[in-house]
Amino acid sequence: MAISVTQDGRIAIVWDLSQLKRVYRSLFAQLRADPGADVDDGDCLLELQMFLQQKAGEDGVDVTLHSAWEAWLGHEAPIPCEQRYEQYRSKETDASGQGSSL
């Protein structure tokens, strides 16, 4: 990884693909842990995801198959969509204070 400041004052970070995947997984994990987190101010995460999905497609990965996408990102045990969505719903319910008292 290399970090530098450009002539116009912007920060330039140079990562290899494996580092970029780790950054994406970390940002997305934070978003999963706290759906209200201000992780994606300015669509950075979306742009990163689109870039990585393009790279995955170039590697022959069908990114519409969530398990294939997550495996390409380096997740050893991808969480099934149904389980992940249930976790999101329970976090949203807990945050709103309207969850059940089971």
Q: What is the pLDDT of residues 43-67, one digit of tens each?
A: 888 899 999 999 999 999 999 998 8
Full-model pTM: 0.70
Note the pLDDT of residue 24: 92
Note the pLDDT of residue 43: 80
Q: How large is the average pLDDT for residues 75-92? A: 68
DSSP string for 39-95: --TTSHHHHHHHHHHHHHHHTT--TTSHHHHHHHHT-SSPPPHHHHHHHHHHHHHHH
Backbone angles phi, psi at 2, to 5 degrees: -135, 135
Task: Please say if the pLDDT value at position 41 is more than 50.
Answer: yes
